Amino acid sequence: MLQIKNIYKEYKTGSLVQKVLEDVSLNLRDNEFVAILGPSGSGKTTFLNIIG
């Protein structure tokens, strides 16, 4: 249903570069229920924004 392949994302704030997602891949099947888990600041919202 949804295939995510080799996603990278970094935020640049002035001279600071923060790597948030590094080579993330994911396959979701039809009707599959998935939860994205991880500590605060691990990149969940960034990842979902990219999917959106």
Ligand X SMILES: Nc1ncnc2c1ncn2[C@@H]1O[C@H](COP(=O)(O)OP(=O)(O)O)[C@@H](O)[C@H]1O
* 7 touches ligand X by CB under 6 A: no
Residue nearest to Mg ion (CB): 45
User: Count residues contacting ligand X (CB under 6 A)?
Assistant: 12
DSSP letter (8 states) at residue 36: -
Phi, psi of 51 (to 5 degrees): -60, -45
Indicate which single residue of 18, 27, 45, 49 sits in contact with Mg ion (rule: CB under 5 A). Answer: 45
* 44 touches ligand X by CB under 6 A: yes
Sort 4 into a burial class: Cβ within 10 Å, 0-12 / 13-18 / 19+: middle
Contact residues for Mg ion, defined by CB under 5 A? 44-45
